[in-house]
Chain A
Amino acid sequence: MAQDWQPDFERLVDEHQAMVYSLALRMTGDRGLAEEIAQDTFLEFDKHLRTIKGEDHARWWLRRVAMSRATDALRRRRVRGMDLWVALNEQDGVTGEEKSSPLGARLEYLLTTLPEAQRAALILRYQEDMMPEEIAAMQDAPVATVKSNLQRGLKLLRAKATSQLKEFIRGA
């Protein structure tokens, strides 16, 4: 089946651009940077297209490279001393029509204040619906570390939400 797979770059871009862009956006918190990362990721993907074995491999490859590029971008920005989360707050806003609910919008923002490893684990788990084992395999990390990041991230996020969003929690 995998041998019959013919990679079609344009179709793969159509299919996965939202995933790649969302991963980059939620990791970096900057729309412009997220778009840049998405472009770089797909251009790199194009170079490796011949090595891609199928749909699952393509999705796995794109997730891995997008997350890696986003992490690199965060490191570069930190070196330059920029505060990305201000950019996210101002540009992405919390009043955008894209958001499903005020609580959802605040959760998305609060997620960006978590430590990088916990944020990455939560994004992959709850945006991409990946299992801890899949995340561990993708990040070349022990499953226990991923589970720990997920638990700590959830706990911290919930604590932040509880203390900062009492009005939404009460309304829910």
Chain B
Amino acid sequence: MEEFERELRQALERRPAPPGLKRRLMAQRDANVARGGWRAWLGKAGYGRGWATATAALLLLAMAGGGVRWELDRRQEERNGEAAREQVLTALRITGHALNQVQTRLAEHDRQAREGER
């Protein structure tokens, strides 16, 4: 069996890679880098998946913060609008009351004038 194993070992010596394999490989690698664009550049610059995740998390956080801020502003504006509406209604109520008083006085004045004529 040892002789057979020796023969097998000899038969299974590594074959040389085809000529041009490395050249084609490097060309493919360069093409991938060019196609990869900024992601590949970030990868080569050492900003790997961790950085991408952190950036995405920051963006999400900023978006969530922006959403909360927008909702708070909207509620504040709603409160301001409600207060303004209350003020207008109060003013209208006061005006209505004053007009009623004026009307009452005019009616009283008319009644007294008619009694004086008699």
Contacts and interface: CB of A to CB of B under 8 A. Distances in A.
Contacts, number: 87
Nearest to B22: A13
B18 A35 contact: yes
B8 A107 contact: yes
A158 B4 contact: yes
Contact of A39 (B15, B16, B24): B24
A93 interface: no
B10 to A, nearest CB: 6
B15 A105 contact: no
Contacts of A172: 3, 7
Interface range on chain B: under 10, 10 to 19, 20 to 34, or 35 or more? 20 to 34
A122 interface: yes
Interface stretch (A20-28, A53-61, A73-81, A139-147): A20-28
Contacts of A126: 5, 8-9, 12
A100 B10 contact: yes
A137 to B, nearest CB: 21
Interface of A: 9-10, 13-14, 17-22, 25-26, 31, 35, 38-39, 42-43, 46-47, 50, 98-101, 103-105, 107-108, 111, 122-123, 126-127, 129, 154, 157-158, 161, 172
Given A42-B25, A126-B9, 4 more contacts: A21-B18, A25-B15, A43-B32, A154-B8
23 contacts: A9-B29, A10-B22, A13-B22, A14-B22, A21-B15, A21-B17, A21-B18, A21-B21, A35-B17, A38-B21, A43-B28, A43-B29, A98-B15, A99-B11, A103-B7, A104-B10, A107-B11, A111-B8, A111-B11, A123-B12, A126-B12, A157-B8, A172-B7
